[in-house]
Amino acid sequence: MSLPPESDFFGRILFLLQSYGGSYLRGAWVTMVIALISTFIGCVIGFAAGILQTIPADRRRAPARFWLLRAVRLLLDVYVEVFRGTPMMVQAMFIFYGAASLFGINMDMWTAALLIVSVNTGAYMAETVRGGILSIDPGQTEGAKALGMTHFQTMTSVVLPQALRNILPQIGNNLIINIKDTCVLSVIGVVELFSAAKGVAGVYYTFFESFAITMVIYFVLTFACSRLLRLWEKRLDGPENYDLVLADGLVQGEGMYRYPKNPAQPNADLRARQLWDAQEGLRDGKSNGAQSERGRGE
């Protein structure tokens, strides 16, 4: 197979797609798998680090825990600073060849790629998560504590869900950066999209055409991801309005009461009964009474 002799730019692109479409797709696949998995692992690392940074430890009550946490935090600081402060391409070389020559470990391409990108993302996410946790007002933590929740329960059911929501744009940012930055892994022989494109380009010296295709693919990937994350954000925010289970007792009409739509739901009956009871209570004048007595407190 050879390049059609009198083809124009688009003709050459068409030719590259027809003959090497598979290479681009495989490259894009590798890029996406590395970016997605390492963003996920990076987030896990970031959350773990962020949580470790914010565990309270009383120096007097639990001195062992206090000093242990101190040591862990110091290590985390070193980790964050080192990985944020050096280029990922250099880290890739350092880890890949370092593992081989120091420990005799020959990492396969996937392990090396996932390790490097994850650890890198983790370093960025650690700070992001810490900030996300600190941005949740401490009143809610106190509210949870006052109910008897442990630090872990407070974190998982109150703080982290809100922190996650707040840092979702940052996670999206990291994913997009990772999609683009996996291209530096070509230095250790990972055949991701950039590396694939370079390979194809070299065959017929069609650099412009090959990288035009690559530009489009990268853009489609990042744009799709950013839109999907937007959707997820919207989902997490929930509805703008809420349904009043029953309106004001004074204007409540019979017709406004809605039975749950799905009677197969196990709790539907119980719920309907409770709502009904609640409604009855209000109609009996409970709320009217409360209203007329409002002024008495002062």
Partner 1 sequence: MSEPIIEVRHLSKRFGRNEVLRDLDFSVLPGEVISIIGASGSGKSTLLRCINLLEEPTGGSILFHGQEVTAPGTDPCALRARVGMVFQGFNLFNNMTVLENCVAGQRKVLRRSREEARANAMAHLEKVGMASYINAKPRQLSGGQKQRVAIARALAMDPEVLLFDEPTSALDPQMVGEVLEVMRQLAAEGLTMLVVTHEMAFARDVSSRVVYMADGVICEQGAPAQLFGAPQNPRTREFLSRFNSR
Q: By C-beta, is 101 or 294 nearer to partner 1?
A: 294
Q: By CB under 8 A, is residue 293 in contact with partner 1? A: yes
The 131-150 contact track toward partner 1, x by CB under 8 A, reads: --------xx-xxxxxxxxx
Q: By CB under 8 A, is residue 256 in contact with partner 1? A: no
Q: Residue 198: is it exposed, middle or buried by C-beta count within 10 angstroms (0-12/13-18/19+)?
A: middle
Q: Which of 238, 253, 255, 263 binds partner 1 (CB under 8 A)?
A: 238
Least CB distance to partner 1 at residue 26 (A)? 41
Least CB distance to partner 1 at residue 60 (A)? 8
**Whole-angstrom distance, CA of residue 217 vs CA of residue 194:** 10
Q: By CB under 8 A, is residue 296 in contact with partner 1? A: yes
Closest to 48 measured CA to CA, from 116, 153, 122, 118: 122
Residue type for position 86: T
Q: By C-beta, is 4 or 138 nearer to partner 1?
A: 138
Q: By CB under 8 A, is residue 241 in contact with partner 1? A: yes
Closest to 113 measured CA to CA, from 97, 92, 85: 92
Least CB distance to partner 1 at residue 175 (A)? 23
Q: By C-beta, is 262 or 267 nearer to partner 1?
A: 267
Q: By CB under 8 A, is residue 198 in contact with partner 1? A: no
Q: By C-beta, is 111 or 291 nearer to partner 1?
A: 291
The 265-284 contact track toward partner 1, x by CB under 8 A, reads: --x--xx--xx-xxx-xx--
The torsion defined by the Cα of 132, 136, 142 and 146, in degrees rounded to 10, comes to -90
Q: By CB under 8 A, is residue 298 in contact with partner 1? A: yes
Least CB distance to partner 1 at residue 50 (A)? 17
Q: By C-beta, is 81 or 137 nearer to partner 1?
A: 137
Least CB distance to partner 1 at residue 228 (A)? 22
Q: By CB under 8 A, is residue 55 in contact with partner 1? A: no
